[in-house]
């Protein structure tokens, strides 16, 4: 945002997220950017059914808001660090909000996660992953094409396919009846809020309006696969010794049962539960678009699509880690939002 646009800011955010020097180098914080986003979000914030979901909603909204220009090819590599920082910071605040209002989720104990500030190992991991993507983005026309198969097969929160399957799968676990999901008896039925399963690779359906950038990449994906079905299958199967992407997809969808199924959200209010399902689904829009762009790039060998896919993946680089650190950072407090002084 230019200095001229600062006059349009309505609010100022007084708060921070864990940012050691190595991470700050690739995810430079931007007070102007977060103030602008919070100011723009205000018209939505006042309509939320509970303000105890404010930071959750802001985070989901930010991912969609920033995915648009990135997936449309209108964001620059130079801007990417600040954009990714906004996703990381709002994720951290969302995790902190969940813990402050609803307690530490059982998933933390179930997975045996034990970490304390300053979370140097996690921050270094995010920094290293971001640096890897920036190296590809600055490495010339074919560098992004070369890195995409690795990013697609990364069976972690940083992986392109895993991120889609896991995040959408979590919504199904929360809302659907067994054996598809683990809807709790006190939750009203919410069938097909999101549709995803281990059978239909790369298919996600939402009970929400689909943003234009996702529609564009869905169409581009269908054109690429229809024109070169064997190239698509080759991309899924990978080279000798590589994991078939359908297996990565299956494991990611099923992983939601380990984390947010069962009693993981029993103590949430209905309003917070509804907002979580909604905004987590919104967050998946950008993840899906990244996955589709990655396949378009590989099947058609399009370096521009590859660049956009890598940028989109980098935008989310700190999303899951940010949530985790917000949950674990028990000594921190949520930001305060002030009217912006002019």
Residue 194 and residue 175 in contact, taking contact as beta carbons nearer than 8 Å: yes
- Residue range(s) defining the domain that contains residue 332: 3-339
Q: How many domains does one find in the chain?
A: 1
pLDDT category of residue 3 using cuts at 50, 70 and 90: very low
Among 108, 257, 276, 263, residue whose Cα is nearest residue 169: 257
Contact (Cβ atoms closer than 8 angstroms) between residue 315 and residue 71: no
pLDDT at 147 over 50: yes
Digit-coded pLDDT (tens) for 177-189: 999 999 999 999 9
> Can you tell me the mean pLDDT for 285-314?
98
* 112 band by pLDDT with thresholds 50, 70 and 90: confident
206: left (phi over 0), alpha (psi -120 to 50) or beta: beta
Closest CA to 327 of 165, 111, 131: 111
Q: pLDDT category, 262, cuts 50, 70, 90?
A: confident
- Tell me the sheet residues that pair with 13: 337
How does DSSP classify residue 169? H
The arithmetic mean of pLDDT across residues 143-159, rounded, is 96
Short-list 92, 67, 101, CA closest to 271:
101
Q: How many CA atoms lie within 13 A of 175 on its CB side?
A: 23
CA distance 160 to 312: 9
pLDDT in tens, 35-92: 999 999 999 999 999 999 999 999 999 999 999 999 999 999 999 999 999 999 999 9
With vertex at residue 48, the alpha carbon angle to CA 46 and CA 53, rounded to the nearest 5 degrees, is 115
User: Can you give the pLDDT at residue 342?
Assistant: 57
Q: Which three-class secondary structure state does DSSP give residue 308? A: helix
pLDDT band of residue 4 (cuts 50, 70, 90) is very low
* For residue 214, pLDDT beyond 70: yes
Q: Quick one: pLDDT band at residue 8, thresholds 50, 70, 90? A: confident
Q: Is the pLDDT of residue 220 over 70?
A: yes
CA distance 314 to 308: 10
Strands (E), 228-341: 336-339
Residues 6+ apart with CB under 8 A from 294: 148, 151, 152, 160, 305, 306, 309, 313
End-to-end Cα separation, the chain, in angstroms: 16
Please state the pTM of the whole predicted model. Answer: 0.96
């Amino acid at each position: 945002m230019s200095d001229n646009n600062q006059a349009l800011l309505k609010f100022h955010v007084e708060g921070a997220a864990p940012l050691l020097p190595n991470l700050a180098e690739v995810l430079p914080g931007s007070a102007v950017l977060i103030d602008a986003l919070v100011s723009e979000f205000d018209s939505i914030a006042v309509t939320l059914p509970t303000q105890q979901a404010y930071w959750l909603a802001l985070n989901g909204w930010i991912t969609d808001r920033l995915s648009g220009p990135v997936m449309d090819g209108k964001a620059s590599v130079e801007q990417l660090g600040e954009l990714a920082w906004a996703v990381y910071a709002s994720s951290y605040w969302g995790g902190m909000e969940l813990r402050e209002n609803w307690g530490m989720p059982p998933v933390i104990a179930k997975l045996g996660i034990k970490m304390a500030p300053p979370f140097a190992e996690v921050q270094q991991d995010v920094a290293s992953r971001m640096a890897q993507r920036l190296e590809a983005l600055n490495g010339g026309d074919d560098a992004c094409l070369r890195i995409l198969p690795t990013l697609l097969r990364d069976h972690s929160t940083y992986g392109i396919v895993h991120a889609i399957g896991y995040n959408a799968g979590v919504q199904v676990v929360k809302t659907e009846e067994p054996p598809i999901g683990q809807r709790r008896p006190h939750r009203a039925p919410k069938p097909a809020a999101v549709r995803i399963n281990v059978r239909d690779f790369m298919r996600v359906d939402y009970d929400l309006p689909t943003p234009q950038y996702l529609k564009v990449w869905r169409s581009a994906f269908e054109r690429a696969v229809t024109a070169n079905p064997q190239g698509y299958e080759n991309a899924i199967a990978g080279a000798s010794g590589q994991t078939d992407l359908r297996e990565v997809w299956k494991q990611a969808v099923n992983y939601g049962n380990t984390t947010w199924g069962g009693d993981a959200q029993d103590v949430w209010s209905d309003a917070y539960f509804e907002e979580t399902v909604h905004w987590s689904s919104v967050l998946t829009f950008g993840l899906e678009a990244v996955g589709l762009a990655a396949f378009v790039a590989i099947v058609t060998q399009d370096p521009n699509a590859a660049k956009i896919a890598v940028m989109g993946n980098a935008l989310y680089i700190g999303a899951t880690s940010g949530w985790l650190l917000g949950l674990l950072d028990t000594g921190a407090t949520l930001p305060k939002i002030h009217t912006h002084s002019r």
